């Protein structure tokens, strides 16, 4: 289960698929599904941001992915979800019966879209893997911010404005570091003139190339 990128039709009109794919909404903090739940449905994100987490044997928490509009989450393994999924913001989701995956004939179009989403999920997880493989904390965080900026940043002149839906702790658990290190890395970027923090959640990317350099630097 988890996240998929860039469907061919990221936002099918709600009306068109309404009878097949009911819309559901969740408040921030709401739980969409839990690890080991039977996976009857796939969910296509229409609006909002979600967090997919798994627990390690040690008790620590790993954020497997963040899901945004257009992503599909909930791909099963052995018929069950493999992570917890919670809403970080208000979210609206389209629900698709998981059976669509197993039965291509019933709805070929949707089947193909969901399958593409599964392949995109594989690519996304590999990217996450590469992100975590970086050595330095600043490099990881810089790469993370760049990905967010490309996918969800609002351009404003030569700057990008990011509105983070997740808390520092979520970022830390996503990149496998501590909140303190996330915070320190951000302040370093700030002192280097790469970003500005309007609020804790609102980040302005001042120097995209500088961030790239920090990401690329070993």
Partner DNA sequence: CGTAAGATTGAATGGCCTCAAGGACAGTGG
Partner DNA sequence: CCACTGTCCTTGAGGCCATTCAATCTTACG
Contacts to DNA by CB under 7 A: 135-138, 167-169, 176-184, 186-187, 197, 199-201
Q: Is 169 in the site for a copy of itself (CB under 8 A)?
A: no
Q: Is 205 in the site for a copy of itself (CB under 8 A)?
A: no
Buried residues in 26-46 as b, exposed as e (16+ CB within 10 A): beeeeebbeeebebebbbbbb
Instruction: Select the binding partner of residue 95 from a copy of itself, DNA, none (C-beta < 5 to 8 A, by kind).
Output: none
Q: Is 108 in the site for a copy of itself (CB under 8 A)?
A: yes
Shorter beta-carbon distance to a copy of itself: residue 133 or 191: 133
- How many residues bind a copy of itself (CB under 8 A)? The answer is 45
Q: 71 and 104 in contact (C-beta within 8 Å)?
A: no
Write down the least CB distance from residue 137 to DNA, Å.
Answer: 4
Sheet of 31-33, strand order: 31-33, 84-87, 50-55, 61-67
Instruction: Select the binding partner of residue 102 from DNA, a copy of itself, none (C-beta < 5 to 8 A, by kind).
Output: a copy of itself
Write down the least CB distance from residue 132 to DNA, Å.
Answer: 11
Give alpha helix (H) positions in 44-107: 99-102
- Residues comprising the chain, all counted: 218
Contact track, a copy of itself, 113-142, x by CB under 8 A: --x--xxxxxx-xx-xxx-xxxx---x---
Tokens of 33: 């599904």
Exposed, middle or buried: residue 159 (CB in 10 Å: 0-12, 13-18, 19+)?
middle
> How far apart, in whole angstroms, are the C-alpha atoms of residue 160 and residue 151?
11
By the criterion CB under 8 A, which residues form the site for a copy of itself?
Answer: 1-2, 54, 56-60, 62, 64, 75-78, 82-83, 101-102, 104-105, 108, 111-112, 115, 118-123, 125-126, 128-130, 132-135, 139, 176, 215-218
């Amino acid at each position: 289960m988890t996240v998929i990128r860039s469907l061919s039709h990221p936002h099918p009109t709600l009306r068109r698929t309404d009878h097949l794919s009911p819309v559901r909404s969740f408040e921030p903090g709401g739980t969409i599904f839990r690890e080991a739940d039977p996976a009857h449905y796939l969910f296509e994100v229409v609006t909002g941001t979600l967090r997919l987490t798994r627990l390690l044997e040690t008790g620590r928490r790993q954020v497997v992915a963040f899901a945004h509009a257009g992503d599909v989450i909930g791909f099963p393994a052995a018929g069950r979800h493999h992570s917890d999924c919670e809403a970080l913001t208000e979210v609206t989701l389209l629900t698709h019966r998981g059976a669509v995956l197993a039965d291509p004939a019933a709805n070929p179009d949707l089947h193909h879209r969901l399958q593409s989403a599964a392949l995109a999920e594989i690519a996304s997880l590999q990217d996450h893997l590469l992100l975590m493989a970086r050595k330095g904390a600043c490099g990881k965080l810089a790469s993370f911010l760049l990905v967010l900026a490309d996918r969800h940043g609002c351009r404003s002149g030569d700057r990008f404005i990011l509105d983070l839906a997740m808390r520092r702790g979520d970022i830390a658990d996503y990149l496998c570091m501590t909140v303190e290190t996330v915070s320190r890395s951000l302040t370093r970027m700030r002192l280097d003139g790469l970003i500005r923090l309007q609020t804790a959640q609102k980040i302005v990317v001042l120097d995209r190339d500088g961030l790239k350099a920090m990401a690329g630097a070993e």
